Amino acid sequence: MTEYRFIGKATPRKDALDIVTGKTKFINDLSIPNMLYGKALRSPLPHALIKSIDTSEALALKGVKAVLTYENVPDWLGGLPLHVRILDRKLRYVGAAVALVAAETEEIAAEALRHIKVEYESLPAVYDSEEAIEPDAPQLYEQFPGNVYPLEIQAFGPKSLREIAIGDVDKGFAEADFIVEGTYTYENIPNPLPPEPPGAIAAWEGKDTLTVWSASQGPHMVKVSLQKRMGSINLQSLGSPVGASYGTKYMSWQYVLPAAALAQAAGRPVKYYYENPEHLAAFSLRLGSRIHGKVGMKKNGDVTALSGDWFVNTGASSETAQAMVSVGCGEAQLMLRCPNWSLKPKVVCTNRTASGQVRGFGGQELKCALIPLLTLGMEKADIDPVEFFKKNYVKPGEGYYWRDGFWWESRGIDYTGAIEKGAAVFGWQEKWQGWLKPSSVNGVKRRGVGVGVHGNADVGEDVSEAYVRLDPNGTATIYSGLAEHGTGQRSSICKMVAEVLQLPLERVFVTPTDSRINPFEYGPVGSRGTYAIGSAVIAAAEDAKRQLFEKMAPKFKAAPEVLETEDGMVWVKGQPGTRLPWMKGMRYDSTIMGHGRFEPDFTLPNFMMIFTEVEVDTETGKVDLVRVVGATDVGQVIDPLYLTNQLNGCLGSAGIDSAIFEETVFDTRLGRIMNANMIDYKWRTFAELPEMEHAILETPIPSHRFQAIGVGEIAPSPGPSAVLMAVSNAIGTRIHKYPLTPDKVLAALGKITKQERRGN
Amino acid sequence: MTPTNSRPSHPTITITVNGETHKFMRGEVSNMVSPSHTLAHTLRERLGLTGTKISCDHGACGCCTVLLDGKAVLSCMLLTLECEGKEITTIEGLGDAATGALDPLQQSFIDHTAFQCGFCTPGIIMSAKALLTENPSPTKEEVQEALSGNFCRCNSHYHVLDAVLAVTERREDE
């Protein structure tokens, strides 16, 4: 393995000093001169029409500068396809915005909301995905009859993947030794809940220049995706450090459009920042996922056919659900080798807070329902799940239909090694006692183990561009639209450039995330930071280095190819005595700009397996997560501490804990979320941490300069189904309704009878 | 907004923040401290000390933790008027004001990359500081208990525990 100066070594984050001293400016820490504060009046009803709305009293309040309703708000749309108005006459969930106010202070804005008089006409509401498609169900949108979103929206080009249709399932089921079927769900719509609520500041100059400061995970895409539809030909998007996102703040129109509309109406800059209860009740939840599925299997565990209807409940609107369905369908194929598929997704809208982009992006939602179905077959075949996943996970040379609808073949890593290492670290062989058998029993406490798997082929998705500028004083500046959202990626790209140019890390900088100066950047999603963003930055650094050597070569009377550089000095290879500083070739009056671009490539699946051990108290029904082992192969570690941080992130952000206690509790009588606060919404505390260990392999990926690929996004995704398996094994009976709260465990044990709740 | 009458006997409120004494008028006019203002609001909006973060704003997440006379408190759950005469320390005041040196805890967080997005980090550091002031050699479990009111969604918990334990005073018998 190559020994590097920075790559693979733990180095402090470039932003560390500001973070630990409180100097980091998140979006709500910014204010700009003359700024107003925006707030939303929100619907108390799950489905209603506004019969009348009177804003005169609110407008008359001193300090109120603008009030917007569906009657005077700009007709800018969000959603997929574009269909969500900023304010609409029809309200489709409790929490839907009814009116927007901009005022001199937050207090005045809040006061103004109380002076808006609204008369509602209540409409019948529907919350369950299958009830919503019944003929007599309440209809949410005229343009989507039956409450079904069209899948033909070409989110990823003309052939965008809309289903998994491979082979002939009838033939596959005929070849099976046995068939298992059932309905499995992942419908507790957990909230990823980054600590920083979403927010933005918007300011107009003239009619066509709009500046947006936002907490977006992909600030450059704010510009690209919003400027045309907002009538601004020059949207200047500035990113702030993101107080985490987990996918949710990538699509930013929900908070950028209201800020921009208010700023336009008031003629002054406006900050629009969600309060925590709004964040919990009126911002992106996970998709609800339900499968009626059927699996044909051979006695040896080979899957001959998989068919099913996949109901995707996206709530009141689709932020990006059809795209998540595409990616989910691709990710299911990475996990399962099966010659005959027929998985038919249906994206349905219902009268609850909208689901949106969340890490795991369709694949987690699909697999959390699909894997429990597969385990029925594994149990019947009496096959160890680790062996099953090992046999089935996509190998180099094997193919899959990816999100664009094209067939791609893996030229990545064989993950067998990572699976075996993970099993060894976890002690799987010793703990696995067979299906529905506990690994140990101690009085009323029973332990069980389970395993789950996930991976995407998105590490090379979409385009990144970067520039690297060299200055004569021996410094390098990376121009990138990459926002820091917690993974340390802005520091990681500095390490990559420092390694290419052999500069001390202290001499490498990144520009602020600002679309006015940086080239195109899709953003850090789909674990693409290391491979896609990294490759663009590395290419820019290599280009800059090439130009530097061309510029310096005459000084040495040598060819550029024989030059070397380190610490801002250049010399002829093998002749260290010829050392000259960059300044000698560049003089004080020039800069060098290297350009880099990454083109999409779906041939590299990444991989994550999670092993879990749980302890179930059969008296109280409480499930404790005792131990977690994550297994992956990252090609090459960029920074060991950034990596373990990301892998440890498997617990929260709608990850593993969505199988144990995290859920959005929804009351179907009122159509309301009952736990939209951080006391009633349960989250894991420092006092309840499981043992955590990771098995990390480094099998080089030849197509990356440092042989590395990312895994951050997918870290939590294998977890929930692994917990289901572990609890089922611990208690000796199948249990599969997320989250496994004590009532469900006791019901499975026959200790209580529990009424089913419907409609999430 | 209608100004309310301040009680004439207490027209001002005085608090000391990071060693500096601040005197505010009490009242509802924009440059005064209102009886409804939380300490978090005053720190952020009046003193510009935005290192103290507000996430839940109702005492559940610990992001707004500051020290009040050396003890960790949730600044979103305290009214500024309750802090008359108190010494407040925020994340900005944790280092050595004279030399600019970081508190060892801050340095340890840097060394262990004990954060990801960093939003909850100031609150976590302040909770840990209060613990170490009271108990310089806590066990791992004691650190976990002391930080159990701090929400960290990126799951940097494990690195945080390493960072805090690295600056504890090891007992001789360990």
pLDDT of residue A229: 85
Angstrom CA distances, A250 to A319, A526, A635, A707, A732, stand at 11, 11, 27, 27, 41
Q: Touching check for B117 and chain A: CB below 8 Å?
A: yes
Q: Touching check for B16 and chain A: CB below 8 Å?
A: no
Interval A121-144: pLDDT, tens? 999 999 999 999 999 999 999 999
Q: How many residues does chain B have?
A: 174
Sign of torsion over alpha carbons A486, A487, A490, A494: positive
Taking the CA atoms of residue A426, residue A428, residue A430 and residue A435 in that order, the dihedral angle to the nearest 10 degrees is: 140
Please give the structure tokens belonging to residue A409.
């073949």
Q: Using CB atoms, which residue from B56, B119, B151 is nearest to A26?
A: B119
3-state helix, strand, coil in chain B (%, to 5): 30, 15, 55
pLDDT of residue A1: 67
pTM above 0.90, yes or no: yes
CA distance A643 to A714: 12
Tokens 């019948």 -> residue: A124
pLDDT of residue A240: 83
Average pLDDT over residues A617-640: 98
Q: How many CB atoms lie within 10 A of CB B16?
A: 15
Q: Touching check for B116 and chain A: CB below 8 Å?
A: yes
Side-chain half-sphere CA neighbours of B22 within 13 A = 21
Nearest chain B alpha carbon to A648 = B155
| pLDDT range class, residue B173, cuts 50, 70, 90 | very low
Asked whether the predicted pLDDT for residue B4 surpasses 70, the reply is: no
Element counts in chain B: helices (H) and strands (E): 5, 5
pLDDT of residue A154: 86
For chain B, strand residue ranges (E) read: 12-17, 20-25, 65-68, 71-74, 87-89
CA distance A524 to A531: 10
The angle, 0 to 180 degrees and rounded to 10, between the axes of the packed helices A640-648 and B157-166 is: 130
Interval A581-619: pLDDT, tens? 999 999 999 999 999 999 999 999 999 999 999 999 999
pLDDT of residue B30: 77
Average pLDDT over residues A535-542: 98
* CB-CB contact of A418 with A607 (8 Å): yes
* CB-CB contact of A409 with A605 (8 Å): no
Report residue A522 CA to chain centroid gap. 13
Give B 127-166 residues with CB within 8 A of chain A.
143-145, 147-161
Angstrom CA distances, A143 to A158, A356, B37, stand at 21, 20, 47
Nearest chain A alpha carbon to B106 = A20
Chains A and B form CB pairs within 8 A to the count of 172
Alpha-helical regions (H) of A563-712 = 582-586, 640-648
| pLDDT range class, residue A756, cuts 50, 70, 90 | low
> Minimal Cα–Cα distance from A75 to chain B, Å?
31
pLDDT of residue A153: 87
Asked whether the predicted pLDDT for residue B87 surpasses 50, the reply is: yes
Asked whether the predicted pLDDT for residue A24 surpasses 80, the reply is: yes
Phi, psi of A709 (to 5 degrees): -135, 160
ipTM: 0.97
Please give the structure tokens belonging to residue A715.
């870290």
The SS3 assignment for A26 reads: coil
CA distance A241 to A249: 12
Please give the structure tokens belonging to residue A329.
């369908």
| Side chain identity, residue A277 | P
Interval A233-247: pLDDT, tens? 899 999 989 999 999
Average pLDDT of chain A to the nearest whole number: 97
Among A474, A713, A440, smallest CA distance to A570 is for: A474
| pLDDT range class, residue A529, cuts 50, 70, 90 | very high
